[in-house]
Amino acid sequence: MSEHPNRPRRSASARALLPTLRIPWTGARLPARARAAAAADRVPLAAHDMGPAGAVSGAVAWLARAQDCSRSADGGVARHYSLLTGWANSYPETTGYIIPTLLEAAQACSRPQLMERARRMLDWLVSIQLSGGGFQGGTIDQTPIVPVTFNTGQILIGLAAGARHFDEPRYHGAMHAAARFLRDSQDADGAWRQHRSPFAKSDDKVYETHVSWGLFEAARLAPDHGYQEAGLRQVEWAIGHQLPNGWFEDNCLNDSNAPLTHTIGYTLRGVLEAYRSSGKREFLAAALLTANALGDCLEPDGRLVGRFNRDWQPCVDYACLTGSAQIAICWFMLTEMGQDVRFAELACRANAFVRRTIQLGGDPNTAGGVKGSHPIDGEYGCFQYLNWAAKFAVDANLCELHYLGSDGVRR
């Protein structure tokens, strides 16, 4: 793996000086449990690591609770649990890509009941699909209800998994409708601009490579509909926004000068899926640029700060745990694709850091859940346990279990 000797490392004391956005709550106004959680995150993490099997079990149990406790009680998964406001309504976008996670966990953990949970999620999503095949943005109660490219792409990942696993006409039909919506609304240069989210900054989004992944999944079931070709066009457009150091422009929800590791992880995964789908070396080369740069940013304890500028310098003092898990998955994928085994070693370090932030006991609403930020009062998902953070933590730890093998020995 390449090193960047000109990139200075920051000490812990230097990190403490970095700016972090906070929500406008004073300590006195915060609920006692939120104040306690923020204080607990100011002390060093415990050395104990529950291991990947423990993390999978805990986070899957939390996802099941999030489905059962959704305020909208519709079969979807609550967007989050907040220490300030409790459980949220169901979130269609992330419910979509939680489906393949539960289907994989059902087999890996011998828990067939998870398949029925996935089916309930699928049935709910099919019931709310819009007439043109797209899906709304935001939680189920948010308005306006308009089709959104990104959210549709994430749900397409789940619809394709459901169609493959259950092989029922209604799931195949919903998958095709969503894939056609994306294919037919794409601009000539490969980007999607017609159906942007009303809940994010309205500009080009390179991280919609993660939408392309949904098209690749649909193409595996239906190879002659132009789905793969549409996805590859978008990824080709996206890598045109990559700098020589691996950093992507136009790659954040709200601040393209300092993208979240969450959206960096989305982009990297989509580029890797383009390579897996097409075998084109240009996609692997682009993925390696970003993966190597992120590897140079990983701290010895597995911590990865939540935002980086174009020089890969940290911009905040918190970790975005979602992004850490996503990037770990991508590192595991690269090793599986025959690249340097050091990528898997980086992934194991990142996973271990995230695991050490998870509590399995105490409040059942937070046990096994994964925070948006560590510390919990960081800008991203402030004081919240996010359903997609738990989903990616499950995926990353299942990758680690696969890497370790049945004998528990690292390959």
- Residue 279: is its pLDDT beyond 80? yes
- Residue 383 clears pLDDT 50, i.e. is over it: yes
20 located within any domain: no
Full residue range of the structural domain in which residue 374 is found: 47-404
| pTM given for the model | 0.92
The answer to the question of residue 196 being in a domain is yes
Q: Is 211 helix (H, G, I), strand (E, B) or coil?
A: helix
Q: What string of DSSP letters covers 246-294?
A: S-BSS-SSS-TTS-BHHHHHHHHHHHHHHHHHH--HHHHHHHHHHHHHH
DSSP assignment letter at 362? S
Residue 141 in tokens: 């109660």
Residue 19 lies in a domain: no
Q: What is the pLDDT of residue 176?
A: 98
pLDDT surpasses 80 at 13: no
Q: What is the pLDDT of residue 378?
A: 97
Q: How does the average pLDDT of the chain come out, rounded?
A: 92
In a domain, 82, yes or no: yes
Say if 39 falls within a structural domain. no
Residue 91 pLDDT > 90, yes or no?
A: yes
Q: Are 211 and 254 in contact (CB under 8 A)?
A: no
Backbone dihedral angles phi then psi of residue 318, each to the nearest 5 degrees: -120, 160
Among 265-274, 325-334, 399-408, the minimum mean pLDDT is found in 399-408
Question: Is 331 within 8 Å of 347 (Cβ atoms)?
Answer: yes
Mean per-residue pLDDT for 84-108? 98
Q: What are phi and psi of 58, to 5 degrees?
A: -65, -45
Identify whether 30 is part of a domain. Answer: no
Residue 11 lies in a domain: no
**pLDDT for position 175:** 98
Closest CA to 388 of 158, 164, 108, 94: 94
pLDDT tens profile 137-181: 999 999 999 999 999 999 999 999 999 999 999 999 999 999 999
Q: Return d(Cα 124, Cα 128) in angstroms, integer.
A: 7
- Predicted local distance difference test score (pLDDT) of residue 5: 27
- 1 occurs within a structural domain: no
Task: Report the domain count for the chain.
Answer: 1
- Under 8 Å between Cβ of 378 and 20: yes
pLDDT in tens, 16-44: 333 333 444 555 589 999 999 999 999 99
pLDDT on residue 28:
56
**CATH number assigned to the domain comprising residue 302:** 1.50.10.10
